[in-house]
Amino acid sequence: MEQQHAGDATGPVPFFIEYLKQAGLFDGWVAGCPLWFTSPNAPSKRDLLDTVLLSVLAGHYRYAYITTLRCDAVNPPLLGMKKVVSEDAVRRGLAKIEGRRVWLGCKRIWTIACGRC
């Protein structure tokens, strides 16, 4: 008799993170992001974008669901995150990106992350 194992939707995420890192896709995406913070209390651009990526990969479609990433002890360290950014910080940070529609529209990482290649 086969045993049934509980699955998790984020199970393949570490492999995808490794793919993004090895292909240099994620570093280029972060470097090309037109976002700059001037406040010393602001999160780093990298942590903010890492949080957004993990949220998309987890299937979140609301900012409020970002809070659940704080319980993830596996994936944030794989991206080299210092901390998971709050939902409010993500909302404010994404709103500050100048030309965000053009920047997100031309980046293939979102197409790959959403499985629409």
- Alpha carbon 11 to its chain's center: 15
pLDDT per position as a tens digit, 25-70? 788 878 888 888 888 998 999 999 999 988 888 888 888 889 888 8
Long-range contacts of 27-32 (CB under 8 A, 24+ apart): 29/107, 29/109, 32/103, 32/107
Confidence category of residue 86, pLDDT binned at 50, 70, 90: very high
